[in-house]
Structure 1
Amino acid sequence: MPDGIEVGAGHRTRAMTTALAVTGGVSAVLAWLEFVLIRQQLVVGSWVIAAAVVAIALVRVSSAGKPAAVGTALGGVAVVTQVAWLVTGVHALWVTALTGAIVLVFFLLGAAWAGSSAASTRRAATAIPAGVAAAIAVVVSAAVIGTAASPAPLVRSLQAVGQSNSFEPDAQTSTTSVDGARLTNDVEYGSTLPNSFLDIYIADDDPSVSRPTYVTIHGGGWIVGDKTDGAPSADSGGASWAGPMLDAGYNVVSVNYAFAPSYRFPTQTIQLGQAMQFLEVNADGYGLDMNRVVLAGTSAGGHIVGNYATVQTNSDYARALGIEPTMDRSALKAIVFESAALDVGRAGAPQSPSPSNGFFFDIAARSYLDTTDTALLAQANVIDNVTADFPPSFISDGNTGTFPDQAAELSAGLDRVGVANRLNLYSKNEARLDHSFMSVDSEWTDEYSRLKIEFLRDVV
């Protein structure tokens, strides 16, 4: 068995061939990690650059002529675009850097395969597993580059097998009793946008009693989710958000909305306005008091209610966004923020980093609006657009893989303009609480509900 193989004008040893293969494999993993861990770009990107530099050195030593020139050029592109991305943060450069790094990977792996032992028995034994590995790498890499360029295909594929945009209700509208409350399900509140349906819960099955109305908007990253998430029923998968509010003397309305990327910001704000107008017009028929309204939103829903409240209370902002207010400010008594993504530009950077949450939130944010547009991000930032007319707010979040920093910033901003608010956060010394912890049955969820109801009792 020969110790090396002639490749062009160079002599490639087995060690060099192995080095090319290993560097290619490591570079592939790093490129994929950079895609998943985009918010850790400096660390991972630096390793991608280091791997590309090593690749250039290996190519120049192991090859000659055109192969050496091509490998050096690919490595140079990977390094230059990666540095440019880390310095500028321009999204197109990130996509180019990922593409350059992945093309370099396949060049290295191809060079390693070409330089492997020429013995036919060895080649035959490794051809099939190498081919399978290469096919998997091609599929994963294509998915990485494609999703980096646009998350829309990935998101739509997820919606195709789950919740999606539809002009048809999930079930025929009917009125039933659920845990002692009157439920009217799948009421259509609009016809121009998909998912324009809501559920109405009347406490004690008695619409004759005047109670404040608690309108809640579900989470799901603006791309999934449903108004029945956490609904008060025997088969509910989590803590019931409606149960404590019904027990506290509120009627509850849960609203669905159109999903991104087919419908992007501020469509959901406009759609919530349609729901509020429908409820106002039909309040008597359902036994709702629309003069005392609390808006609550979880995660992505928190951004929607926050943005809607900003439109109702900041006339300059409403004009800039091109949306007319749809309810009397005096009727909007309070806002409840549950793990709200208030600054969409930082959605992919949750505190106490969670790679899975960060990846999902980043994909969701890019689906919801163009996160490369700084002017649009500033316009969508709830924290920076509140005024002294913003409603009193109860603001709560967990402490792991979520947005307690944004919750604290909103509270501080409301303090500065003199708006009553309560910030409800917990240290990790007390408990590890994930994003939307209030959707999971626990003593902390019970305490959250108690504190929220106490706050609302003073302002509604």
Structure 2
Amino acid sequence: MTTDEIKEAIMAMRTAFKKGDDARDAGLDANPPEVLRINDLAYGPDPKWNLLDLYLPKNVSGKIPVIINIHGGGWCYGTKETYQFYGLNLAKGGFAFVNPNYTLAPDNVFPGELDEVNTYIHWVADYADEYNLDKNNVFLTGDSAGGQMAEQYITILTNPKYRELFGYDLTDLHFRAAALNSAAFFIGDLGMISGAVEGYFTPEVRAQKQDMLQTEKYITKDFLPCYLTTANEDFIHDQTIKFDGFLTALGVEHICKSFGDADHPEPHVFLMNQKDTLAKQANDEEMAFFRAHMI
């Protein structure tokens, strides 16, 4: 695709996705009484994109276990506002929820979005004490493109050889588990990269940074325990099922669930829909998985 065609595809994706997300979230309470909401904290130099919201439960005493989110959207769509209701629900469950923006493609190309993820994870480490966050019980969530970046970041955390490719430094946060929802695994298979996605994984990136895209090559048995979800109408359903088998072969602790059936179909990243009964079940299971891995 030409540069103009990629930009057109990105704009079409943003329009369609936003229309669906706005309809999904219509009428939901953005300020539930159980949660203290702190908006637009700066984690980096960009005044538009390097912002995060922090949701703190009011019913927790002592240090608060923390979930750091990496939002999805095909690397070229999505904001923290798109994920606010998912995050507020997890905060109601007793977790602090870190809900950041990052700069989207085509203004950002691989690995620029992951670089910003790394920056906001360091922000959490630096400011955890100020917000009473428990550095010893940290969890990572990501969906779709965000799930792919979460997979990469976990691999960076757990394999020094992969970390060297990115040049990141570790923090003093102790990550205990992750939830990867409708994640875009196996992105190194270049057949997955087409259309709007080429705005992030440009031809130059694919030619020069292929080893960085081959995440699965670097995953070891030390990968974090994971709660994996997909759905019967998830267009990348098979990527999660394949990753399930991949982790099983490595001996990595994980749970893999596919939700929905012919009578109650569920789409890609259905967990974000806080009006959906099966999404509520999946979110509750996700939190239970995290609680089981707290120390």
User: Structures share a fold, TM > 0.5?
Assistant: yes
8 Å contact from structure 1 (residues 312, 325) kept in 2: no
What SS is found at the alignment partner of 2:259? coil
Partner of 2:286: 452
**1:322 aligned onto 2:201:** no
Q: 1 CA distance for matches of 2:208 and 2:263?
A: 39
* Amino acid paired to 1:201: Y
- In our comparison, the structure showing a higher alpha carbon Rg is 1
Q: Is the 8 A contact 1:219 1:301 kept in 2?
A: yes
5 Å matches for 1:135-214? 148-150=1-3, 151-154=5-8, 178-191=32-45, 195-204=49-58, 209-214=62-67
Q: Are residues 1:436 and 2:269 paired?
A: yes
Change (3 A) 1:375 1:419: farther
Superposed displacement of residue 377, structure 1: 4.7
Distance (Å, rounded) in 2 between the aligned partners of 1:266 and 1:258: 11
- Taking the aligned partners of 1:265 and 1:345, their CA distance within structure 2 comes to 12
- TM-score, length basis structure 2: 0.83
Distance verdict in 2 for CA 1:291–1:160, change over 3 Å? same
Q: 1:432 aligns to what SS in structure 2?
A: coil
| Residues 26-45 of structure 1 mapped to structure 2, 5 A cutoff | none
Matches within 5 A, 1:60-459: 148-150=1-3, 151-154=5-8, 178-191=32-45, 195-204=49-58, 209-231=62-84, 240-319=85-164, 321-328=165-172, 331-344=174-187, 362-370=194-202, 373=206, 376-377=209-210, 379-426=212-259, 428-429=261-262, 431-440=264-273, 441-459=275-293
Q: 1:427 Cα shift?
A: 5.9
Q: How many Å separate the matches in 1 of 2:234 and 2:71?
A: 18
Q: Secondary structure at the match of 2:255?
A: strand
Following superposition, which runs of at least 4 residues in structure 1 exceed 6 angstroms of deviation? 158-163
Residue 308 of structure 1, CA deviation? 1.3
> Identity over the aligned pairs, expressed in percent?
24
Unmatched runs of 5 consecutive residues or more in structure 2: 18-29
Equivalents in 1 of 2:252, 2:188: separation in Å?
Answer: 24
For structure 1, which runs of at least 5 residues remain unmatched after alignment?
A: 1-147, 164-175, 232-239, 350-360
Give the distance between the partners of 1:454 and 1:269, measured in 2 at CA: 27
| Inter-CA distance 177–401: structure 2 relative to 1 (3 Å threshold) | closer
d(CA) in 1 for partners of 2:263, 2:54: 36
Q: Aligned AA for 1:182? A: L
- Whole-angstrom CA distance in 1 between matches of 2:264 and 2:246: 26
Higher relative contact order (CA 8 A, sep 6+): 2
- Aligned partners of 2:265, 2:13: CA distance in 1, in Å? 31
Deviation at 1:454, TM superposition (A): 2.2
CA drift of 1:230 comes to 3.9
SS at match of 2:82: coil
Query: Please, what is the CA RMSD of the aligned residues?
Result: 3.0
Tell me the SS of whatever aligns to 1:389.
coil
SS in 2 for 1:412: helix
CA contact (8 A) 2:6 2:196 kept: no
Residue 126 of structure 1 corresponds to none
Could you tell me how far apart the structure 2 residues matched to 1:302 and 1:178 are? 27
Residue aligned with 1:397, SS: strand
Taking a change above 3 Å as real, the CA distance of residues 191 and 426 of structure 1, as seen in their structure-2 partners, is: same
Q: Which amino acid aligns with 1:455?
A: F
* Secondary structure at 1:434 match in 2: coil
Offset from partner CA, 1:44-90 (integer Å, 9 cap, x none): xxxxxxxxxxxxxxxxxxxxxxxxxxxxxxxxxxxxxxxxxxxxxxx
Distance across 1 between alignment mates of 2:13 and 2:229: 29
* Aligned residue number for residue 99 of structure 1: none
Residue 362 of structure 1 deviates from its aligned partner by 3.1
CA contact (8 A) 1:219 1:302 kept: yes
| Alpha-carbon offset, residue 293 of structure 1 | 0.8
Q: Does the C-alpha gap of structure 1 residues 192 and 241 become closer, same or farther in structure 2, counting only changes over 3 Å?
A: closer
